[in-house]
Copies of this chain bind each other. A is one copy, B any other.
Amino acid sequence: MTESTLPPCRRMVVLTEGRTTPFYAKTAMSLVKYRSSEVLALLDSTQAGQTAGKLLGLGGDIPVVASLDDVDSPDSLVLGIAPPGGKVPPEWKSIIVEAIGRGLDIVSGLHEFLSDDAELSGLAAKHGVRIVDVRKNNEDTPSDCVEFRPGCLRIHTVGHDCTVGKMVASLEIQLALVKRGIDAHFVATGQTGIMVSGEGCPIDCVVSDFVNGAAERLVLRSQHHDVLLIEGQGSVVHPRFSGVTLGLLHGSAPQGLILCYEVGRETVKGLDHVRLEPLAKLRDIYETIGSVRYPCKVIGVAMNSRRVDEDAAERERVRVEAELGLPACDVYRHGPDVLVDAVLALREELGL
């Protein structure tokens, strides 16, 4: 495959056994938020009888169950964790084996590939189910540097660091555009985004020679939509992941960028000795390096204000809007409307 296309997963059970907490179950949290009507239950025998809402703060009444017996006709088991470098918890294997035996497709975003396990692969073949390792890819060609469909507006979320909310900003803007009647599509580039959207490319798993090409092909497959919200990764000045970030930026060739950051974060996550760049400087860098195939500009700021209170968030919002002369909001706290307006304004400016 050149793309991670998932099974339909219309009736999924999300496996979080022993790990139904906001710290571990990040994938589960995105699924109960963005695919709530398709998540029948969380599977965690240690928390049976609880709800997603109580344990994760998201997902409302979605029940936590002890066994697949407690779920009505599920079609898939989706692993609800995806820690960096993560392995499959050993005690999960018997649960996966049981799910395959019941005819469920299996979806995993872990670094360790379930499909490389001969026992699981054999069982899956026997029972006619798919095992999809979302981080697996076989991208093996460079970019062709083709022209995209002129009517397709590409918006890309970029940031000052990893895990500041690029996926969330992309999704919230996309959903709000759809509500306004626009044919907007979310383009997933990381494992959680792929699980939420059902398709995409795990861009950081692609061989570096082909990363620009993989990003280009993601756009080519989606450019029949009028607006693309392309999920960003890392940061173009991130000492660890800048290669991924720039390949994605150049390959997808966006005309508009949403600059994402976390309020109060001053150093690179996991690298306390590396200071983050100021937003104004970052904007200049992104616009300079991003304007290769098409002119590209930052059109708004998505601030992640989870660590500050309401008043501090509002002061920061006003400060950033004034400093950068751009609309800014926390898509959860304030809703994404000012960024949606910015996308539509760019669309009009470009005559699309």
Contact = CB atoms under 8 A, between A and B. Distances in A.
Contact of A243 (B238, B243, B292): B243
Interface in A7-50: none
Interface stretch (A55-63, A70-78, A244-252): A244-252
Contacts of A197: none
Given A207-B205, A208-B208, A211-B208, A243 B246 contact: yes
Contacts of A288: 284-285, 288
Interface string A277-289: 0000000110011
Contacts of A241: 142, 209, 212
Interface in A263-290: 268, 271, 273-274, 284-285, 288-289
Given A237-B289, A242-B247, 10 more contacts: A143-B240, A145-B239, A205-B208, A206-B208, A212-B239, A237-B292, A239-B251, A246-B246, A285-B288, A289-B289
23 contacts: A142-B241, A143-B240, A145-B268, A203-B208, A204-B208, A204-B209, A206-B208, A207-B207, A208-B208, A208-B243, A208-B247, A213-B240, A237-B250, A238-B250, A239-B250, A239-B253, A239-B292, A242-B250, A243-B248, A244-B247, A274-B293, A284-B288, A288-B288
